[in-house]
Amino acid sequence: MTDTLAPRGTQSSSRRIVTEIPGPESQKLHARRVATVSAGVSATFPIYVDHAHDALVVDVDGNQFIDFTGGIGVMTVGHTNEALVQAVTEQVSKVTHTLFAVAGYEPYIAVCELLAKHTPGTFAKKSVLVNSGAEAVENAVKIARKHTGRTEIAVLYHGYHGRTNLTASMNYNMHPYGTGFGPLAGSVHHAPNSSPFHDGLTGAQAAERTITHLEKRVGASQIACLFVEPIQGEGGFIVPAEGYLGALVDWCRANGIVYVSDEVQSGMARTGAYFASEHFGIEPDLVTSAKGIGGGMPIAAVTGRAEIMDASHPGGLGGTFGGNPVSSAAVVAVFNEVEKRNLLGEAKRVGATLMPLLLDLQKKHPVIGDVRGIGAMLALEFVDPATGKPAADVTKAVQTHALHKGVLILTAGTFGNVLRFLPPVVITDDQLREAVAVMDDALSSL
Ligand code: PLZ
């Protein structure tokens, strides 16, 4: 690593708390924030970040945290990855913007080639690049509607797809995404999902329930697209029962419905595969990606069957910043890093280290109802052992305890009773063990 790229002062490979949390500098920034940043933007943690490297984040007071959040699953390659920093730096000094639809540039095309190669399925694929996961979902809807000539959109219970008007309409949780923001978009239909821990159904039974719901409530011939997160992210890392996704894909194909895998959270090496759909042996018609593909630079994509992606007339898709050269250069660097540093293997290693530790934790603490996930996308669900009810208070208490001990962990789940782990896959085994020990302490102290 060259000096100019060296992250300033990650002091050791471990956590290091040197002030109260939040420290005085974070408190000052928070006061400025409250005065000027919209109250509509929430703050999970009261700290403000100065710099970060790999799986460590350092706040403005010099407190160093092990990062189990990865900026909600974005920093898969690690913070300030050297190759990414270099690619972005080089691109910034070459050209930062032309608007691809006005005058094109190579990195945009390179990203589309990489996505065609690494999304599931060997058929001819094309992509459009946009700025955010929500924008990718919006565009996938447009493309599917144009391709099918149909209007209706199907989504699953406990799903999450974004914060724009249409995507907020596609989320399961009305609060906080939709409350008071109506009218929300019409033509969106929510159907039961598969969640083995909660419904006890086989994949075939759950698929029959989903399909029957959509056939009765909407009619297969009316549906343009079905959106499915292969592992539901915000919903609490819900891994569907075996055979569920395959049955949905078959049903979509038989009925001319475009099957969209929303891989914004589960995609790009997170689960030990480029895209989580691979674990379920499915080939979606379209895949939406964002977060991890840019390694921290804003970019997102819709990728899929060439004949579907070409449905739009010229000028129907796009936007000023979509596939920005700097963000595109970042994506190319991320794909290179995944290959060069075997990050699919690293994601599997994270799972292989973390899963047994979490299962041990479950044996010790009966409030952990379920341990689930794939690769570096794992979660704990907390359930009151006496009543079987979601234990959101325990979840929150562990999160808060961990923050004060130097570990950043996110919650998830419709009922807020899931702790989800989305660390950079370059996190070390020691850091994983340390973070689990902190959760163990937290649970023992409750
Ligand atoms: N689809 C599956 O997980 C974003 C939301 C963070 P954007 N999830 C994190 C927050 O509170 O806003 C997400 C996702 C799935 C779509 C999106 C939306 O991606 O890049 O946040 O628009």
Mean pLDDT of 70-90: 98
Strands, DSSP E only, in 203-333? 223-228, 258-262, 286-289, 300-305
pLDDT beyond 80 at 5: no
The answer to whether 111 touches 253, Cβ cutoff 8 Å, is no
Sign of CA dihedral 286, 290, 294, 295: negative
275 CA to centre of ligand 1 in angstroms: 16
Domain boundary assignment for the chain: 24-67+342-445, 85-340
Mean pLDDT of 118-147: 98
4 CA to centre of ligand 1 in angstroms: 33
Q: What are the b/e assignments for 298-307, b being 16+ CB within 10 Å?
A: bbbbbbbbee
CB of residue 230 inside a 6 A radius of ligand 1: no
Q: What percent of the chain has pLDDT over 70?
A: 98
Residue-level pLDDT at 210: 99
Mean pLDDT of 28-42: 98
Q: What percent of the chain has pLDDT over 90?
A: 97
Mean pLDDT of 220-242: 98
CATH class of 85-340: alpha beta
Which of the listed CATH numbers 3.30.2290.10, 3.40.50.1220, 3.20.20.80, 3.90.1150.10 matches domain 24-67+342-445?
3.90.1150.10
In whole numbers, what is the pLDDT of the chain averaged over residues? 97
CB of residue 163 inside a 6 A radius of ligand 1: yes
Q: Is 419 left (phi over 0), alpha (psi -120 to 50) or beta?
A: beta
Residue-level pLDDT at 3: 32
The answer to whether 298 touches 327, Cβ cutoff 8 Å, is yes
The answer to whether 176 touches 163, Cβ cutoff 8 Å, is no
Sheet strands side by side (includes 64-67): 49-53, 56-59, 64-67, 407-408
Q: What pTM was estimated for this model as a whole?
A: 0.97
Identify which of 354, 364, 327, 329 has the alpha carbon closest to the alpha carbon of residue 427: 354
What digits encode the pLDDT tens for the residues 364-421? 999 999 999 999 999 999 999 999 999 999 999 999 999 999 999 999 999 999 999 9
264 CA to centre of ligand 1 in angstroms: 7
What digits encode the pLDDT tens for the residues 279-325? 999 999 999 999 999 999 999 999 999 999 999 999 999 999 999 99
Q: Which atom of ligand 1 is nearest to the CA of 134?
A: 22
Q: Which of 164, 265, 410 to mutate to test the pocket of ligand 1 (most atoms within 8 A of CB)?
A: 265
The answer to whether 319 touches 290, Cβ cutoff 8 Å, is no
Query: What is the residue type of 169?
Result: S
